[in-house]
Structure formats: C-alpha cells, structure tokens
Amino acid sequence: MIDRRTLIATGAALAILPSGARATDLPSRRPALADRRFTSPAVEREIARISALIDDPELRWLFANCYPNTLDTTVKMGMVDGKPDAFVITGDIPCLWLRDSSAQLHPYLPLLRQDPKLRELFRGLIARQARSILIDPYANAFMEDPGTKTNLPWALEDETEMKPGVAERKWEVDSLCYPIRLASSYWHTTGDRTPFDASWAESARAIVRTFREQQRKLGSGPYHFRRAASQPTETLLWGEGNPTRKVGLIHSGFRPSDDACLYPFLIPANLFAVTALRALARLAKEARGDSRLAADAAALAQEVDTALARHGTMRLPDGREVWAYEVDGFGNALFMDDANIPSLSGLAYLGCVSPVDPLWRRTAAAAWSTANPWFFRGRRAEGIGGPHVGPRQIWPMSLMVRALSAQDDATILHCLAMLKATHAGTGFMHEAFDQDDPAKFTRPWFAWANGLFGELILHLAAQRPHLLRAPLPAR
C-alpha cells in the first residue's frame, strides 16, 4: 500500500530555473489572479510594502511567492449554519491538519484590522477547527466533507476508531494546542467575540478533557492506534506506545512530524500545552466570561508545568543541563530535535520560553550541533531534519525557526543565505532537501513552510530591517 512518505518523497513537477538566473529571469510563481483561492487587499499591499525593503532580487522574489501561498492555493471558503467556514489544506495533501492550518494563517495576523475579508477567513477556520475537534479530539487531520470516510491511502486500514470526517487519527498533543494559539491570537488582535460561540466553548472543553485523559492517571484512556507500515515510526507499540510512569505530563502518541514518539512524554509538546492552556484560560475569561473553563485550563497548565520542572530536563554527556526531547517518567530520556514545530529549537518562537532563557539557549545550541542525531551539515547547508524523511535531509523550517529566534545578525544572515541557496530554483520552500544537493527535495507544495518563510521576512522587516538591505553571505 502506498503511504504518505512515498507520496510526498518526490521532487517538484515545477519548472526549475537554471543556476545563476538573473533578476529578470524570476517571473512570479503565483497562480493567475483568476485562479487564486482567496485574495486579500491587505496582503497584496503588504507584499508590495515589504518587497520594497528587500534589496536582494531573489530573496524579494521568494517572499512574494511564498507569503501569499496559503491564500493563493489552499483555502476553500463556504458557509455552515449561516456562518463562514474555511477549509485549509496543507498543499499537496488535500486535507486539513489542525496544526498546519493554524500555522498557515498565523503570518496574516498583523493584517486583520485592515481587512474584513481576512477576518472572515480566520473566523471560518476557527469554526471549522472547533467542529473538527468535536468530531474527534484525537484526530490530527480531517476531510472537507465531515460525512465522508478517509480517502488517504495510508490511513484506510488503520486499527483505530476512525469516524466519518477524520482523515488521519494520529494523536498529537500539539494538534490541540495550535487551534488555541490561533483563536487566542485572533482575539488579542481583533477583540472580536464572534467566533467564540457555544460550539467553540464545547471544543475547548474537549481539549482540556482530552489532555487530562492523556495524563493516563486512571488507565491508558480511550485512544489506541496501530498501522501496518514499513516504518516503525508509523505505528504505536501495542496501540498505546511505550510504558510510562504517570507523573502528570501529557502522553503524545506522535510528534508534530506525524512520527511515533519513542518515549510518550514529548517535552516540547508539553511545554506548548502549558502555554496554550494558559492562553485558553485568558481567552475563556475575556471573550466568554467562562470562569469555570478558565479555572480548569489554568489548573491543568500549572500541573503540567510542575511536572515539567521535575521530569522535563536531562544532562548531556558533557554535563550541560538541557530540556529533553522525550522522557518516560522512569528516568529515561532522549535528546534530539526534529524540525517540526513544536520542537526544542522552536520553544522561543512559540512563546513557551524567553529567547534569552539560559536553559533554552543551551538546549537550542545543543540541538544545532552533533549532539542532535538529526542535525546535518553538508556541502550546501546545515540544519535539522528528522526521522520522517530520513538522514541527510535538512528541513527549511529549521533554518526559519533558528533565524526567528536568533539574537545576532550573523546567524540570521547565514540562515537567509542557506534558504536562498536551497529552493532549487522553484521559488518556494520545501519540506526537506538533501544536505549536498538541494535539487533533491520533498514536497514541492508545502504551504506551512512557505508561510513560515513569509513570517520570517515580516519579522525581520519589523525588528531588523537593516538585514533586508544587507548582502547575504556567499554559499
């Protein structure tokens, strides 16, 4: 049976520009205006404004292609019960991932006050995510039609409770954190209470309930998952994952890469859960006046935070104390990092830690080194990958997160130079590329990576605009 890895592990069917192409050889890679899924006047103005700040023609071209990619290619608007509905696919997989769809819209947050149509898109996705969570809070991906069964080839025979509307049912803690991040960010940007209706509140309570179930204090809980696949990271041992000692942390079956956890306490996801639950507590109180939901979310956040302080760190062989990637509560810990967010490297970007926190800085430095088995340095680039695609494969997202979190200009410019040098002439970011040959890449249409690149350029325009005028180091 074909699986997701086989489907996406191919290079683009895009025309690739020859090496050394001039600025005049860089035509827009956006769809024709009539073919774009969603248009926003505010986004178009922002593309023009930011482009004028970028001196490097190729970097400017990449931004103009990547930043609007989610709107151009992945959005389908509709109405449900008289309210906006937005179905946002990942790109080359025509399903909605809770994580990806939330991250894909995140770069447009600063423009919400300028564009009513963009606010409608956010309201539509918040509502779609709430309804999806109510279908199954353990699912990571959903079908456009909530009444249909999955058509993803790799999920057809999964041994789990597959419900109509569910595309894939890999339990990932971050899948429930990202919708909270999206909703909270929308509220604090707009002050608009419209999305936070009874259905949304019910989904928020389902999130808290599911996190508590996956502390597994009273047993293994209702979730089980097994898949027949050639890669062991596609399934869970005994349908539940490896044993743990119940210490108050939340179990995750899978990582944000959709790969199975080795130890079920995924520390970056638990740190993200603390941040998300505290955001939910504020949101429930401010937008709905729901003190009970707020108190429940805040109490769980504190419990998990206390458990993280006791069980979430480890020491490397050289004695450095760092955040672990995964632990089991028995004292076993794994140090690695994966490019997918939440990662150890991405904790500051997500607001889970301060970017100057000493523990996190030690952790991030170790993740960007040979202490991390999934850190690669080749002839063309260096960066973090992960088991999902395999050795030697660098994920551009790791370069973007490093640049978004960096405190020095040199690191940021180095990351920008590598991103510019490794898009293989396509004008877009990819899932991963070979450390020595960027022409060997996976996923030509991966909207999250494109949007994150756009977000990085916006961040630099706001915080370090001089870097958009600076010459990039040669690669």
Taking alpha carbons only, the member of 306, 304, 360, 308 closest to residue 337 is: 360
In a domain? residue 422? yes
At what angle are helices 291-311 and 198-213 packed, to 10 degrees?
30
Taking alpha carbons only, the member of 384, 389, 390, 392 closest to residue 446 is: 389
pLDDT of residue 43: 98
In the block, tokens 């200009």 appear at 409
Pairing of strands 375-377, 382-384: antiparallel
Which amino acid is it at 27?
P
Which backbone phi and psi does 345 adopt, to 5 degrees?
A: -65, -30
pLDDT in tens, 33-53: 999 999 999 999 999 999 999
Query: Tokens at residue 451, please?
Result: 């949007």
In a domain? residue 474? no
Q: Which residues of the chain have pLDDT under 70?
A: 1-24
Domain extent for 327:
4-468
Please count the other Cβ atoms lying within 10 Å of the Cβ belonging to residue 67. Answer: 26
Please count the other Cβ atoms lying within 10 Å of the Cβ belonging to residue 206. Answer: 16
Say how far residue 111 (Cα) sits from the centre of its chain.
20
pTM of the model: 0.95
Please count the other Cβ atoms lying within 10 Å of the Cβ belonging to residue 288. Answer: 17
Residues 437, 91: Cα–Cα separation, whole Å? 23
Which backbone phi and psi does 149 adopt, to 5 degrees?
A: -85, 160
Q: Residue 180 belongs to a domain with what CATH number?
A: 1.50.10.10
Please count the other Cβ atoms lying within 10 Å of the Cβ belonging to residue 23. Answer: 10
| Cis peptide preceding 342, ω within 30 of 0 | yes
Residues 202, 131: Cα–Cα separation, whole Å? 9
SS (H, E, C) the chain: CCCHHHHHCCCCCCCCCCCCCCHHHCCCCCCCHHHCCCCCHHHHHHHHHHHCCCCCHHHHHHHHHHCCHHHHHCEEEEEECCEEEEEECCECCCCEEHHHHHHHHHHHHHHHHHCHHHHHHHHHHHHHHHHHHHHCCCCCEECCCCCCCCCCHHHCCCECCCCCCEEECCCCHHHHHHHHHHHHHHHHHHCCCCCCCHHHHHHHHHHHHHHHHCCCCCCCCCCCCECCCCCHHHCCHHHCCCCCCCCCCCCCCECCCCCECCCCEEHHHHHHHHHHHHHHHHHHHHHHCCHHHHHHHHHHHHHHHHHHHHHCEEECCCCCEEECCEECCCCCEECCCCCCCCCCCCCCCCCCCCCCCHHHHHHHHHHCCCCCCCEEECCCCEEECCCCCCCCEECHHHHHHHHHHCCCHHHHHHHHHHHHHCCCCCCCCCCEEECCCCCCEECCCEHHHHHHHHHHHHHHHHHCHHHHCCCCCCC
In a domain? residue 473? no
Per the DSSP assignment, residues forming a β-bridge with 79 are 84
Taking alpha carbons only, the member of 444, 420, 421 closest to residue 432 is: 444
| Residue 81: Cβ-neighbour burial (10 angstroms; 0-12, 13-18, 19+) | exposed
How many independent structural domains does the chain possess? 1
pLDDT of residue 25: 74
User: How many residues does this entry show for the chain?
Assistant: 475
Per the DSSP assignment, residues forming a β-bridge with 254 are 260
Cβ–Cβ under 8 Å, residues 328 and 242? yes
